Amino acid sequence: MNVPELILEDVSMIWDGAPHCAFTDLARYKAKWYCAFREGKAHAWCPGKIRVLASTDGEKWETAFVLSARSTDYRDPKLAPGPGGSLELVVGVTRLKGGRPEGRHSAALRTFDGESWSTPAQIGGEGDWIWRTERNGGETWGISYRLPGKRRWTVHLMRSADGRAWSDHVRLKVPGLPNEATVRFCGEAAIALVRREAKGGEAWIGKSGSPFLEWEWTGCGERVGGPNFLIAPPGTLYAERTPDDAVQPEPEMIAATRLWNGRTPRTSVCLMRAGKLIPLLDLPSAGDCGYPGMVLHRGKLWVSYYSSHEGRARIYLARVKIRKARRP
């Protein structure tokens, strides 16, 4: 199979200010970089706060915002374009009592300058964990995973006109304890990557056409953690097609996630093609790791992620050069 080559140009540790730093996302907004992640004493079952770092050059980072509350575990922060030209931060909120979870929901905050952030507002209902949001057709979309009972996990495509009032669009027919999921849109098509826990843990890739009610699913061949992918502009991963090409190519898609099929867990960047994940580059990582954010900027892929390969879990930033492949 003809695939692009990914070359790791550099990687640096950008934050280690807490015993456990994890679950990242990355955005570029108004000529600045923003990296969001969770800080806590441990991976889970303890209070967690969200820290957002800002940088003008990707080298020097400073704290732009911190979100914390008593007896609350804020986690899984995601940065995405919001309504009205805002930058939106969506987080999972777990209320703790005696060190154990008592309830959970999602919340969203906005900024218009990267410095002043709104008060967290609950989005979705009690029990909704809206993993990542995406703007499409003037609305905000996302996939929520719910845990209504033991081994009865479900995932739902949700939508919102204003980013605050959310409603179910369709329940996605994904078995096997589905949970973390990313959905992206390309024209009249929607594509989703969903983590699954049961039956070997193989993640599924789904595709749907507007109005996004009927989906086709395939196993991607990999077990993932913190699934993320981007739909790249044409010509990013492959040389442009000629006018004589009769077959319309599928979107160029690049994924980053934790992979752990029979090997030490590692953070990998993959080609997402024909319903499969094809690993292209393992970033320096091992053990408790993954949950990457990605931004394509000036022909390079910037990836935030966390890893414990150098001791405790820390936040890293990698810059990756893309060497295009010829189209098959």
Lowest mean pLDDT among 98-102, 119-123, 157-161, 184-188: 98-102
- What is the architecture of the domain spanning 5-323? 6 Propeller (2.120)
- C-alpha distance from residue 287 to each of 10, 22, 112, 270 (Å): 21, 12, 37, 19
pTM for the model stands at: 0.96
> What pLDDT does residue 220 have?
97
% of the chain surpassing 70 pLDDT? 96
Concatenate the DSSP letters of all residues of 189-230 into one string: EEEEEEEE-SGGGEEEEEEEETT--S-EEEEEEEEEEEEEEE
Question: 309 pLDDT exceeds 80?
Answer: yes
314 contacts: CB under 8 Å, gap ≥ 6: 13, 15, 16, 21, 306, 307, 308
Concatenate the DSSP letters of all residues of 44-74 into one string: SSS-EEEEEEEESSSSS-EEEEEE--TTEEE
Give 249-296 pLDDT, tens digit per residue.
789 999 999 998 777 899 999 999 999 999 999 999 999 999 999 999
Tell me the C-alpha distance between 122 and 4, whole Å: 41
- With cut-offs at 50, 70 and 90, classify the pLDDT of residue 328: low
Give 133-152 pLDDT, tens digit per residue.
999 999 999 999 999 877 78
Residue boundaries of the structural domains of the chain: 5-323
Contact 270, 280 (CB under 8 A): yes
